[in-house]
């Protein structure tokens, strides 16, 4: 991932609704969720959801596919993984202390 793509992804995530959206999509995995279900769960209008999903898609963090009359959205694990890797490896120079903190945080949350 290059710096421009990383900045676009970070910018897309720097919004509470979009971060909640990603949190909701990750457990759904590749199966994803229909747009209507996401809007209802987040309590946002369809047009507002579309705006947020578009930002996440443009940043490479979310994918969309059509199934019958529904648009199904799923998290792009490769995109999120590339962003995390960029932050840890490039920005943080693969610092072992920072990596250890990340591992400890994961254990604190039951991961």
In order along its 111 residues, the chain shows pLDDT tens digits of 999 999 999 999 999 999 999 999 999 999 999 999 999 999 999 999 999 999 999 999 999 999 999 999 999 999 999 999 999 999 899 888 988 888 777 666 554
Residue 79 backbone dihedrals phi, psi, to 5 degrees = -65, -45
66 φ/ψ sector (left φ>0, alpha ψ -120 to 50, else beta): beta
Closest CA to 74 of 31, 35, 105: 31
Distances (CA, A) of 102 to 29, 62, 71: 22, 23, 34
What domains sit in the chain, N to C, each tagged with a CATH number? Answer: 3-108 (1.10.10.10)
pTM reported for the whole predicted model? 0.86
81 φ/ψ sector (left φ>0, alpha ψ -120 to 50, else beta): alpha
Give ∠ CA 45-66-80 in degrees, rounded to 5.
75
């Amino acid at each position: 991932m290059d710096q421009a793509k990383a900045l676009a992804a970070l910018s897309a995530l720097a919004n509470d609704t979009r971060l909640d959206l990603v949190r909701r999509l990750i457990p759904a995995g590749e199966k994803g969720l229909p747009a209507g279900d996401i809007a209802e769960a987040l309590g946002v209008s369809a047009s507002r959801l579309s705006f947020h999903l578009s930002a996440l898609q443009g940043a490479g963090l979310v994918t969309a596919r059509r199934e019958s009359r529904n648009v199904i959205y799923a998290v792009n694990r490769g995109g999120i993984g590339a962003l995390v890797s960029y932050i840890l490896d490039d920005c943080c120079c693969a610092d072992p202390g920072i990596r250890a903190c990340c591992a400890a945080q994961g254990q604190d949350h039951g991961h």
